[in-house]
């Protein structure tokens, strides 16, 4: 297998398993700690793979000048990848700010050392050179920089293992993976020291990023989505509880019709329609139960409650297309619109006939007054209500 094949395979694997991180889309959000740092690291690794693939191709065709340039970029990409890995590791572990700053300084030092060595190599072959037969040879600084990188990976791994001891068990596997990534890279770098012409570094990154994807990224996503599901479930329960409380608050407990609170909200809505000129044909019907006090005094409140429920049922049965509100002990209001508004006179006659029906278990006597909305003249529901209430009392005293 050609040298560049390993880099090509590693590059394709990185894109396939990390496509949602590398190319998340404009509105995607990844529930993974230090996601941005990891994404940047992956792009750096991909850049390294490209230089490694080019190295194999250029070496195969003996393009020495381009090979020299690509080798320089290869070492730079390697150093940048390591810097960004350390950046991700400390951001993910989120442990000690002082340790993080120290590690970042060392990583930047390694990158600067690598850049200086690459630049110097154009004048003095301290990193690498190609002999007269175009064969690659490693220089002393190449061994030194790789040795420094090995130490850096080991230090990061030791730090990750120390964090594992102080954290809860749910995240230990992920933190251990960060640590083992560093150990694996240190071992592979050691082999790279001994075998400079093998694509071991690319193999190390390929194995390491697969491990991180499987045991860190995917588990972080799963946990984040689990927490999100739990949050949604709690919010759903809270919404249901609020809706239940709202229904209780907006429903009269004795009769099941709408409560005084619901009436106040409906009045505010109708007043807004009056102000905006959007309220159409509309009337207010006010109902008052006759003889409730006598029933409570003579027959007891239980019978009085049955009387209220019967009267409420009779009102709702008659004005079945209108919202009915209980706004007092023996007082009800209905807002008449559409069909009930058009048929209001017939409905009032029907209510009177039903009150006279001797077959009812608890005969309910109800006084009622109705007043229509007069555009321009009426500026709020209270004015319509006052006229209906006045009519209701007139009828009560005349009956």
Longest alpha-carbon distance in the chain: 125
- Residue pLDDT, tens place only, 187-228: 998 998 888 888 898 999 999 999 888 888 888 888 778 888
- Give the per-residue pLDDT at 301: 86
**What are the CA-CA distances from residue 242 to residues 37, 184, 234, 246, 247 (Å)?**
41, 54, 12, 6, 8
- Residue pLDDT, tens place only, 321-333: 999 999 988 999 9
**What are the CA-CA distances from residue 278 to residues 250, 266, 335 (Å)?**
25, 15, 16
- Residue pLDDT, tens place only, 113-165: 889 999 999 999 999 999 888 888 989 988 988 898 888 888 888 888 888 87
Alpha-carbon dihedral of residues 249, 250, 253, 258, nearest 10 degrees? Answer: 170
Mean pLDDT of 291-307: 87
Domains assigned to the chain: 3-233 (1.20.1070.10), 260-398 (3.30.70.270)
- Return the closest-CA partner of residue 184 out of 151, 160, 207: 207
Round to whole Å and give the CA distance between 128 and 72.
Answer: 9
Number of C-alpha atoms within 13 angstroms, CB side, residue 53? 14
Residue 254: how many CB atoms within 10 A of its CB?
13
Q: What is the pTM of this model?
A: 0.61
- Return the closest-CA partner of residue 110 out of 73, 72, 150: 150
């Amino acid at each position: 297998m050609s040298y560049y094949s390993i880099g090509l395979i590693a590059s394709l694997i990185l894109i396939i398993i990390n496509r949602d991180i590398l190319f998340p889309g404009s509105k995607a959000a990844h529930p993974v700690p230090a996601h941005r740092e990891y994404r940047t690291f992956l792009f750096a690794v991909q850049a390294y793979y490209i230089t490694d693939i080019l190295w194999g191709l250029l070496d195969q065709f003996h393009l020495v000048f381009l090979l020299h340039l690509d080798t320089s970029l290869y070492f730079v990409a390697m150093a940048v990848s390591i810097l960004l890995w350390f950046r991700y590791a400390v951001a993910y572990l989120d442990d000690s700010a002082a340790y993080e700053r120290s590690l970042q300084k060392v990583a930047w030092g390694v990158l600067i050392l690598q850049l200086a060595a690459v630049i110097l190599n154009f004048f003095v072959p301290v990193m690498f050179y190609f002999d007269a037969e175009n064969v690659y040879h490693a220089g002393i600084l190449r061994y030194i920089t790789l040795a420094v990188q090995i130490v850096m990976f080991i230090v990061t791994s030791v730090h990750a293992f120390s964090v594992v001891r102080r954290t809860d068990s749910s995240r230990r596997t992920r933190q251990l993976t960060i640590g083992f990534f560093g150990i694996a890279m240190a071992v592979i770098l050691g082999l790279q020291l001994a075998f400079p012409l093998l694509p071991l570094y690319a193999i190390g990154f390929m194995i390491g990023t697969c491990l991180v994807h499987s045991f860190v990224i995917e588990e972080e996503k799963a946990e984040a989505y689990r927490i999100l599901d739990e949050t949604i479930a709690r919010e759903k329960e809270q919404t249901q509880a609020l809706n239940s409380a709202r229904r209780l608050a907006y429903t009269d407990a004795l009769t099941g019709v709408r409560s005084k609170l619901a009436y106040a909200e409906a009045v505010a809505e109708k007043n807004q329609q009056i102000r905006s000129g959007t309220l159409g044909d509309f009337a207010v019907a006010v109902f008052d139960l006759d003889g409730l006090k006598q029933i409570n005094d003579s027959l007891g409140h239980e019978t009085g409650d049955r009387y209220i429920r019967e009267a409420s049922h009779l009102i709702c049965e008659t004005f079945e297309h209108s919202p009915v509100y209980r706004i007092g002990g023996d007082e009800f209001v209905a807002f008449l619109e559409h069909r009930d508004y058009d048929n209001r006179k017939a409905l009032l006659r029907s209510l009177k006939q039903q009150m006279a029906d001797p077959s009812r278990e608890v005969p309910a006597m109800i006084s009622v007054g109705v007043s229509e909305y007069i555009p321009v003249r009426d500026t709020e529901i209270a004015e319509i209500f006052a006229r209906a209430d006045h009519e209701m009392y007139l009828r009560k005293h005349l009956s």
